[in-house]
A and B are shown apart, each in its own frame.
Chain A
Amino acid sequence: MDDLIREFLIESQDGLDRMEQCLTELEDRPQDAGLLAEVFRSVHTIKGTTGFLGFLRLEALSHAGENLLGLLRDGKLQADDGIISALLELLDGLRAILQSIEESGGEGNASDDAEVIGRLRVLAEMPQGASAAAQTRETPAAEEQPIVHSGAAESTLRVDIGLLNRMMNLVGELVLTRNQILQAHNAEAGFAPLARRLDMVTADLREAVMKARMQPVSHVFSKFPRLVRDLSQQLGKQAKLELGGQETELDKSLLEAIKDPLTHSVRNAIDHGIEAPEVRRAAGKNPEGLLRLNARQQGSHVIVEVTDDGGGIRVERIRDKAIERRLITPQKAAQLSDRELLQLIFLPGFSTAEKVTNVSGRGVGMDVVRTNVERIGGKVEIDSRPGRGTTLRLSIPLTLAIIPALIVRSRGQNFALPQGVLFELVHLTGEQARSQIEWLENAPLYRLRGRLLPLVFLDRLLAQEDAAAGDGCYIAVLNADGRRYGLVIDGLADPEEIVVKPLSVVLKGIGLFSGATVMGNGEMALILDPGAIALRVGIGLSAEDEEPHATEDPSSASGSEFLLVEAGGEEAALPIEDILRIERIPRARVERIGQMPVLRVEGSLLTLEDRAGILSEPGDAEEQITVVVCRDGGRHVGITVSQVVDVASGTPLKYAGTAIAASEVTLLKERVTGVIDTRRIPELAEMVEAG
């Protein structure tokens, strides 16, 4: 395609996006001269350029629109519902032609436009006297506006997304090279400061490139005013849309990915959430429903909420429907809390719409929203109060290119397992593996807290024969799109933030890997696709096992997940919510202030707790030791451990005969285990003074 035409298409689309936004705002403020001028300008620009490029159909359509808009701008006409609807149709018509040009290079069939052009003409010729209010609007607001826009245009630049992706790759490469340089011990004077500088520059560059991929959520939000307007008219409802946190930024590809789930949620909120005006009036509510779309950043995630003040969801209906559809047994349903029952609407094949409308309720429903959001590593939750309204909460990771993963080993090879699907890890010694993995014909099973968990042996699945399996194994308990199973692996390495690289079509065809990655140490790992593995071995949907944590462990909200570690021959537990990361460092990196072992991490000092005396043992300076970094109130502390054993949920114990919870111990895997109290780790200052 001609560069000139491509540029024209991009610019016109931008103009039409602005036009759409202005038109929906115009409904509330039909007198706003600035808005009218903006709409006029968008159409006028298209018309001007099309004549020059020879797009006759576009020219005819935009010409008809321009006439009407001219009258509006000059105050000879008043914008009303009819006019705005016609202008929105004009917008759709223009968009359709632009799309046709983009796809086929031609404008498509011109006969479709006659109706719209006719309507625009009739509206323009309708005798509607210019009102006094309109005549006073002679301020040349239209001439002032463009300056603002050109200012923004000068400081921004369009960049091809492919180029950005390439830059991202190169930055990833630079990070690896930097890691290798930092590891290389070079005695040359002046090398260390240079390496540190390279380290800093690389980190900054990486951040800058990541930022370049970010776009404000307003790019997606901006299409909703129109959608809400059209839908509520279509359904005979009244709805007002409020947008919040529009400046919140998200990776471009993620923004694209949440467009559909969000649209679906908004449709749902208007169709099923907000009641008809008369129903609302009868309930003593404002006949106009309120729909709020809000985005905010929370740590490494962006939370997008869709809130309506509609009728809410009656939990009993959800429960009855789920039982009727055999998605859950009545016994199981009786054990679930209201909140857990609500989450059942995300199950495939669940739709409570009493009547099928053409807006939603066609059997595909919230499960699509969940699948789409989970595909990009996000989570979705629903909250509802009958009569008060419903909130749908999407939690989206900030960037897609980098995902947290656990590196697992199978027959000497590394594989990356996305953390999002990993629920817990069970370690079995060789003896335990032989006695506790049970077989039903040829299906291996493991009793996880009394329930049978189907197992998949990764080495057998991949037909790996190269190296012998070690003694003992781990079971990674996974939940991929509602398919729950245990993946049996030989060993674990550290969790790592990995950069996802695409695989060649040939290797994607194997159907078990979603990509590959280069780890911090320069080695490569294939990224496992837990959903595809489940499908391959025929793991079924386990509807009852939704939220396995919430159902089996009602106190999970109060943080009873623990990391089980071994330190000095003794097992101890650390509350998982306090753990920031697990690091493997060479012994030589540990320094001492007085008696206190400390670690320098990115310019700050980390106090180390060496309860097991691992640091005092004789050992090679290059030997790797494991440090668990925890949060204790406002400070961070490191705890040295011999090894990380497992993640398990603990049962709080009470002192016999009392209701007092024992805070320093917990029941973990049927054993009473001590909980390390990070508060007891002394402050650095105290130690230095004491020493």
Chain B
Amino acid sequence: MMQAADAESRGAAALEDGIEMCSVRVGQTLFGVPIMRILEILDAPAMRPVPLAPGYIGGLVHYRGEILTAVSLRRLLGLPPHTHPPDLLVFEAKDGEGRNGYFGLLVDAVGEVLTVSVEDFEANPSTLDDERKALFAGAYKLGGGLLVMLDPARFDPVQLSQSQLSQ
């Protein structure tokens, strides 16, 4: 898992004493996204579904004059649809030609910012199924449970379309 190793080394190199993670909840699981990577958090934005789109696409969201594609973490995890409007994390996407764009990740709810330390990090357990291994970047052991680390780059819709095809 090259990507996991990358994320680990980045995380380790970033801060000695702690990494700030934005905690988000989907279903029963608590996930963490490095706060530095989040451009903006939108509270239940208006969304336009796209007919015939791949299942993991939640829809389109209007963001700063652009139209960004939002990926639904819930659908990626194979959970039933959202019961209330999801929140959106906005990330920067780099396409092959070096231009910058945006994409979004839909989550049930955005929680507080947690500071985690590198010592508490562990890679994905080998027993995790392959699909999940491709999505999760490892986990932090917190007092109250596990915080599953997400690497935003893996949720870029273009990336996802390629990894989903290969599966």
Contact = CB atoms under 8 A, between A and B. Distances in A.
Interface of A: 162, 169-173, 413, 462-464, 466, 501-507, 509-510, 512-513, 516-518, 522-526
A562 to B, nearest CB: 34
Interface string B37-75: 000000000101111111001001010111111000000
B46 A523 contact: yes
Contacts of B48: 413, 516, 523-526
Contact of B67 (A413, A503, A505, A522): A503
Nearest to A169: B65
B69 A524 contact: no
8 contacts: A169-B64, A169-B65, A171-B65, A462-B51, A506-B54, A507-B50, A510-B53, A516-B60
A510 B50 contact: yes
A506 B103 CA distance: 12
Contacts of B64: 169-170, 173
Given A506-B157, A506-B161, A516-B60, A501 B52 contact: no
A172 B65 contact: yes
Given A504-B158, A505-B158, A516-B48, 12 more contacts: A169-B64, A170-B65, A171-B65, A413-B48, A413-B49, A463-B51, A503-B69, A512-B52, A513-B50, A522-B62, A523-B46, A524-B46
B134 to A, nearest CB: 17
Contacts of A466: 49
A506 B69 CA distance: 9
Contacts of A162: 99
B50 A509 contact: no
Given A162-B99, A505-B158, A526 B50 contact: yes
A526 B62 CA distance: 12
Given A173-B64, A173-B65, A516-B60, A507 B46 contact: no
A516 B67 contact: yes
Max chain B CB contacts within 10 Å: which of A172, A505, A517, A525? A505
Nearest to A458: B51
Contacts of B101: 504
B65 A509 contact: no
A487 to B, nearest CB: 14
B62 A507 contact: no
Contacts of A413: 48-49, 51
Given A162-B99, A509-B161, A463 B60 contact: no
Nearest to A512: B52
Nearest to A513: B50
Nearest to A518: B62
Interface in B149-167: 157-158, 160-161
Contacts of B158: 504-506
B152 to A, nearest CB: 15
Contacts of A525: 48
User: On chain B, which size bracket covers the interface?
Assistant: 20 to 34
Contacts, number: 74
Contacts of A509: 161
A498 to B, nearest CB: 12
A504 to B, nearest CB: 4
B67 A518 contact: yes
A464 B57 contact: no
A311 B54 CA distance: 56
The 10 closest A-B pairs by CB, nearest first: A173-B65, A462-B51, A169-B65, A524-B48, A504-B69, A506-B157, A501-B67, A506-B161, A516-B67, A510-B52
B48 to A, nearest CB: 4
Contacts of A501: 66-67
Nearest to B61: A524
A463 B48 CA distance: 16
Nearest to A465: B51
Contact of B52 (A173, A462, A503): A462
A373 to B, nearest CB: 27
Contacts of A171: 65
B57 to A, nearest CB: 7
A173 B67 CA distance: 11
A103 to B, nearest CB: 15
B159 to A, nearest CB: 10
A524 B62 contact: yes
B23 to A, nearest CB: 27
Given A507-B57, A524-B60, A169 B66 contact: yes
A507 B49 contact: no
B65 A524 contact: no
Nearest to B159: A506
A168 to B, nearest CB: 8
A87 B31 CA distance: 68
A278 B75 CA distance: 75
A507 B99 contact: no
A413 B50 CA distance: 10
Contact of B46 (A502, A517, A522): A522
Interface string B131-159: 00000000000000000000000000110
Contacts of A513: 50
A173 B68 CA distance: 14
Nearest to B161: A506
Contacts of B60: 507, 516, 524, 526
Max chain B CB contacts within 10 Å: which of A507, A522, A526? A507
A416 B48 CA distance: 13
A171 B53 CA distance: 29
Contacts of B161: 505-506, 509
A570 B101 CA distance: 52
A169 B50 CA distance: 22
A172 B160 CA distance: 30
A509 B52 CA distance: 10
Nearest to B52: A510
Max chain A CB contacts within 10 Å: which of B54, B60, B68, B103? B60
A482 to B, nearest CB: 25
Max chain B CB contacts within 10 Å: which of A463, A518, A525? A518
